[in-house]
């Protein structure tokens, strides 16, 4: 079933259509959230909340304005950025313990199957929020530059500047890593 | 006759910007600039070196494929019920309209014979020659009312 038909059915309260939508777009949304937040728990929460909002706000989706995946990424992006900012505020205030899931975005939390890529994940974790978002959306999420610019509320030129700086910083960090 | 393909040109500075921003993979480059960039790359060893540097970083980025299985059962269980659905009034109206309980069967059962009857009546009744007779019969007036005597 085409995405537009699916979201129309979701807007009419069809739970089965929402399940199909969750299975089709959920994994990509979780990947995106994970790459921003670097926490499986927070990424799962963002993916779930994105789909819940899609369920509630499906009637607002305009297929003439954007692809469904762009719209969903926009919702996930807003949620993830809110979490990152909240986490930064709390870290500044010293309110979080190291075990709190909201501290997970620090490079130390990247464990397990990604240990081999630690230099890379450390470097990505060290990027500023907007640089990391631009890189993740453009490089990993199969979105084109106009879609990424729309999600981030930027011009394409501004997006390209972020990408250039993100890749330069990554390259330097990888060169400096042992 | 073979039609020549026009490939718009691109500056070297723009080519470097694209490689630095999007990497070495043409699928990630802005679609309108792919062909001119490929053309320029084919003739510029300096740009080829920049592309190789971008490809090295891409190779590192490609290694990061985190396992992010989505717990779809938990996700579906967490989804809200129909009652939470904040849909548009028109969508609710359409839903209500096409619900079986709305009573379309009864409405259809009433409308179809009525429509057939009207169509039959209109098609078989010839227009009257004298409308005053029709008015009299409709109003059930005695013929004397109309006479001047």
- Pairwise CA distance, residues B24 & B65, whole Å: 19
Contact residues, chain A, for B15 at CB < 8 Å: none
Q: Which two tokens stand for residue A128?
A: 């500023």
On whether any CB of chain B is under 8 Å from the CB of A1, the answer is no
Cβ–Cβ gap A22/B79 under 8 Å: yes
Instruction: State pLDDT tens for residues B69-121.
Output: 777 777 777 766 654 555 555 655 665 665 555 566 667 777 888 888 888 87
For tokens 């008015």, the residue is B135
Question: Where does chain A show beta strands of DSSP type E?
Answer: none
B2 φ/ψ angles, rounded to the nearest 5 degrees: -80, 130
For tokens 């409405």, the residue is B107
C-beta separation of B39 from B14 below 8 A: no
Domains of chain A: 3-176 (1.20.140.160)
Cβ–Cβ gap A12/B95 under 8 Å: yes
Cβ–Cβ gap B64/A163 under 8 Å: no
C-beta separation of A115 from A108 below 8 A: no
On whether any CB of chain B is under 8 Å from the CB of A160, the answer is yes
Q: What is the mean pLDDT of chain A?
A: 86
Q: What ipTM did this prediction achieve? A: 0.81
With bands split at pLDDT 50, 70 and 90, how would you rate the model's confidence at B5? low
Contact residues, chain B, for A115 at CB < 8 Å: none
* pLDDT for res A176: 84
| Verdict on whether the full-model pTM lies above 0.80 | no
Name the residue facing B75 among A48, A58, A117 (closest C-beta).
A48
On whether any CB of chain B is under 8 Å from the CB of A39, the answer is no
Which DSSP symbol is given to B126?
P
Instruction: State pLDDT tens for residues A132-167.
Output: 999 999 999 989 999 999 999 999 999 999 999 999
Contact residues, chain A, for B13 at CB < 8 Å: none
Q: How far is B23 from chain A (nearest CA, A)?
A: 9
- Pairwise CA distance, residues A132 & A145, whole Å: 15
DSSP state string for A126-169: TS-HHHHHHHIIIIIS---HHHHHHHHT--HHHHHHHHHHHHHH
On whether any CB of chain B is under 8 Å from the CB of A72, the answer is no
Maximal C-alpha separation, chain B:
117
Name the residue facing A12 among B74, B79, B91 (closest C-beta).
B91
């Amino acid at each position: 079933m085409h995405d537009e038909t699916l979201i129309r059915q979701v807007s009419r309260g069809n739970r089965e259509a929402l399940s199909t939508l969750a299975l089709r777009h959920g994994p990509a949304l979780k990947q995106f959230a994970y790459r921003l937040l670097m926490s499986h728990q927070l990424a799962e929460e963002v993916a779930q909340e994105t789909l819940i909002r899609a369920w509630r706000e499906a009637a607002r989706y305009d297929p003439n304005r954007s692809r469904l995946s762009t719209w969903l990424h926009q919702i996930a992006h807003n949620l993830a950025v809110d979490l990152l900012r909240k986490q930064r505020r709390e870290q500044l205030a010293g309110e979080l313990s190291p075990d709190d899931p909201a501290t997970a975005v620090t490079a130390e939390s990247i464990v397990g199957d990604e240990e081999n890529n630690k230099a890379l994940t450390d470097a990505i974790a060290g990027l500023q929020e907007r640089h990391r978002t631009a890189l993740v959306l453009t490089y990993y999420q199969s979105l084109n530059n106009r879609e990424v610019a729309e999600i981030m509320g930027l011009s394409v030129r501004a997006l390209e500047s972020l990408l250039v700086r993100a890749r330069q910083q990554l390259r330097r960090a990888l060169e400096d890593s042992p | 006759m073979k039609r020549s393909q026009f490939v718009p040109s691109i500056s070297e500075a723009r080519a470097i910007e694209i490689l630095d921003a999007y990497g070495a993979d043409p699928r990630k480059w802005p679609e309108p600039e792919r062909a001119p960039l490929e053309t320029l790359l084919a003739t510029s060893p300096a740009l080829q070196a920049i592309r190789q540097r971008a490809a090295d970083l891409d190779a590192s980025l490609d290694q990061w494929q985190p396992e992010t299985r989505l717990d779809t059962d938990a996700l579906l269980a967490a989804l809200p019920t129909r009652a939470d659905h904040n849909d548009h009034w028109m969508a609710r109206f359409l839903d209500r309209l096409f619900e079986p309980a709305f009573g379309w069967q009864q409405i259809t059962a009433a409308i179809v014979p009525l429509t057939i009857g009207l169509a039959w009546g209109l098609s078989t009744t010839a227009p009257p020659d004298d409308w005053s007779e029709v008015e009299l019969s409709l109003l059930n007036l005695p013929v004397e009312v109309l006479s001047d005597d």
